[in-house]
Amino acid sequence: VIYRPDLSVGITESFFQHMEKLAPRNNAAMLIKKRITEISIELFQNIQRHSIDMQSSYLTIEKTEACYSIKAMNRVHAKDIHSLANRLQTINTLNHSDLKRAYKQTLRQAALSEKGGAGLGLYRIALRSANQFVYAFQKIDTYIFSFSLEIKLAHV
Amino acid sequence: MKPLIIAGTETLPHVILDSAKGVFEITGRSVADDASGVYGPVLQWLNGYSKNPNSTTLFVFKLEYFNTASSKALLDTLSALSFIKNSKVLWYHHEDDEDIKEAGEEFFELVNIPFEFKTY
C-alpha cells in the first residue's frame, strides 16, 4: 500500500481517510497509525515551509513487508544543508529520554521566544518513530541540493 | 461574558468557552500549520475571563491529533489558564493512545496547574 498526498492542497479529510487505510482496524494498530499520521503531517508541513519549490517535492507513505516507510523529498538551498545535516545527525545520536528532554526544552523556549516549529517537528518525529533518520543530500547545482528523509516505523 | 465558540474543521479544533454555562473545552484535531486563527482568540478570551473568572474553571482538552505548531499554542493556552484561580485541566486521551496521554504529562510538567487525566 502506498499513498502520495497532493502537497499543493494541504492536509484534508482525504488525507486522514488514506491514513486510515494504511493500518488494520484494531486497537494495537491504532497507535502506530496515529504515529504514521503525525509524522506525515510534520513532514508535509516541513516541506510546505522549507521547500524551494513544490513541483520537485513529494511525500510518500508506504506499508512494506518489513515496516512502514515515510519518505519526504524536497529541494533546499545549499547554504542551509550544513545546519540541517548537523541537526539530523545530533538527533540521531539521542536516546529516547534525551529526545524527550530536548523536545520539552525546545517547547518551553519556543513558547517564550515565538521561534518557528521546525526544531520541534524533528524531535517529535524522532520520538514517534523510535528509529534513526535516514537522510541524504544530492547536489543539483552550486546553490541547490535535493534533500531526502526517510522515517521507518515497525509494524505492530 | 460573551461566549467564544469556534466550529472545528478537519484540521482545526472545536472550541467552546462559555463562562455562563461553565463549559471550557478544546476538542478534535489541531494540525493546521497556522493555528493562530483559533488560539489567538482563545488567549484573548482567557485574558478577559481572568479578570472575573467563575469560582472554578474546569478546562477540557480532548484532542485526537495535534501538530508541533499547535503544541506551542496549547502551551500558551495552558500558561494563560494557570493564572486563573481555581482552574484545573481535564486532559482526555483514548485508552489506547499513550502518546496523547504522554503529551498531557509533558504539559503538566511545564505549567503550574492541576491536571486530571481521563480516558474515553
Mean pLDDT by 10 residues, chain A (156 residues): 85 86 69 92 90 91 90 95 95 96 88 53 94 96 96 87
For residue A3, what are the β-bridge partners?
A: A61
For residue B108, what are the β-bridge partners?
A: none
Q: What is the pLDDT of residue A10?
A: 83
- Residue B114 pLDDT grade (very low, low, confident, very high; cuts 50, 70, 90): very high
pLDDT at B48 over 50: yes
DSSP category for residue A117:
S
pTM of the model: 0.91
Nearest CA in chain B to A39: B67
Residue with the larger pLDDT of the pair A111 and B33: B33
Residue A58: its H or E element:
strand A58-63
Q: Name chain A contacts of B119, Cβ cutoff 8 Å.
A: none
Query: To probe the interface with B, which of A8, A45, A46 has the most B CB atoms within 10 Å?
Result: A45
Q: Name chain A contacts of B98, Cβ cutoff 8 Å.
A: 31
Determine the average pLDDT of the residues in B64-90: 94
**Edge-to-edge strands, sheet with B4-6:** B4-6, B14-18, B23-30, B57-66, B87-93, B115-119
Average per-residue pLDDT in chain B?
Answer: 95
Q: Name chain B contacts of A110, Cβ cutoff 8 Å.
A: 72
Q: What is the pLDDT of residue A101?
A: 94
Answer yes or no: are the C-beta atoms of B68 and A120 closer than 8 Å. Answer: yes
Cell of B119: 480516558
Q: Name chain B contacts of A120, Cβ cutoff 8 Å.
A: 68, 71-72
Determine the average pLDDT of the residues in B104-114: 95
- Closest by Cα among B62, B102, B56, B100 to B81: B56
Q: Is B77 left (phi over 0), alpha (psi -120 to 50) or beta?
A: alpha
Determine the average pLDDT of the residues in B25-43: 91
Residue with the larger pLDDT of the pair B16 and A1: B16
Q: What is the pLDDT of residue A138?
A: 97
Least confident of A18-32, A46-60, B4-18, B41-55: A18-32
The partner residue sitting opposite B110, judged by closest CB among A12, A108, A120, is A108
Q: What is the pLDDT of residue A17?
A: 86
% chain B with pLDDT above 90: 91
Q: What is the pLDDT of residue A12?
A: 86
User: What angle is formed at CA A9 by the lines to CA B12 and CA B30, rounded to 5 degrees?
Assistant: 15
Number of neighbours of residue A26 by Cβ within 10 angstroms: 10
Q: What is the pLDDT of residue B40?
A: 94
Q: What is the pLDDT of residue A112?
A: 42
Map chain B to HEC letters: CCCEEECCCCCCCEEEEECCCCEEEEEEEECCCCCHHHHHHHHHHHHHHCCCCCCCEEEEEEEEEECHHHHHHHHHHHHHHHCCCCEEEEEEECCCCHHHHHHHHHHHHHCCCCEEEEEC
Residue with the larger pLDDT of the pair A64 and B2: B2
Q: What is the pLDDT of residue A58?
A: 93
Chain A residues within 8 angstroms (CB to CB) of chain B? 10-13, 16, 27-28, 30-31, 34-35, 37-38, 41-42, 45, 48-49, 100, 103-104, 107-108, 110-111, 117, 120-121, 123-124, 128
